[in-house]
Amino acid sequence: MRAVVVYESMFGNTERVARAIGQGLEPFADVQVVEVGEAPAVLDGVDLLVVGGPTHAFGMSRASTREDAERQAGRAVLSRRLGVREWLPTLPSSTEVAAAAFDTRVAKVRRLPGSAARGAAKLLLRHRYAVIVPPESFYVDDVTGPLLQGELDRARAWGSTLVASLVADRGGAPSA
């Protein structure tokens, strides 16, 4: 099985979650973890696409919210050229690739509406990807982080559950 984890990250927290998800997938798949600005436009041979980014202004980031993040950080952010919102529509439609979406968000506002993961999942569904699990959120203490204790372990476990969900969806056994 081949999996690609595509992430957008401002302060490094979403990147850390993406890499932990990749670690959870590694026992079962050939995994590539890639920043959205370097992500492939074609997913030939990919069985599972996992997409994630930070929640900004109740959804996926935009150029303006990435600029705000850069001002807030006082330095360049990791994903400044392109976000998940802009990358997903460039993908060809696919009924063959399974998908999942995650985000990072501030723990203090867990109950607020809006989620980058839900927005990404909707775009994946519009492009006919088979979203195999509900969108997942991982929590940071404040806008710039750090991740809450245990979130990286939870991300690794979630990565492993994606394999089980894909196998159940396709009625097979996992193989690397």
Q: What pLDDT score does 65 carry?
A: 80
Q: What pLDDT score does 110 carry?
A: 66
Say yes or no to pLDDT of 173 above 60: no
Question: Phi, psi at residue 12, to the nearest 5°?
Answer: 100, -15
The whole-number average pLDDT for the span 110-125 is 89
Say yes or no to pLDDT of 30 above 70: yes
**Helices 151-170 and 13-25 meet at what angle, rounded to 10?**
50
Output the pTM of the full model.
0.92
Say yes or no to pLDDT of 150 above 70: yes
13 pLDDT tier (thresholds 50, 70, 90)? very high
Question: Which letter does DSSP use for residue 59 in this model?
Answer: B
The gap from C-alpha 173 to its chain's centroid, in whole angstroms, comes to 24
**Which amino acid, one-letter code, is at 77?**
V
Say yes or no to pLDDT of 171 above 60: yes
Q: How far apart (Å, rounded) are the C-alpha atoms in residues 55 and 137?
A: 9
Percent of the chain with pLDDT over 70: 94
Say yes or no to pLDDT of 122 above 70: yes
Q: What pLDDT score does 175 carry?
A: 47
Write the pLDDT tens digit of every residue in 88-101: 999 999 999 999 99
* Residue located via tokens 């050939």: 30
| 176 and 30 Cβ atoms separated by less than 8 Å | yes
Write the pLDDT tens digit of every residue in 49-96: 999 999 987 889 888 888 888 888 777 677 777 899 999 999 999 999
Burial of 35 per CB tally in 10 Å (0-12, 13-18, 19+) = middle
Say yes or no to pLDDT of 176 above 60: no
Q: Which fold has domain 2-170?
A: Rossmann fold (3.40.50)
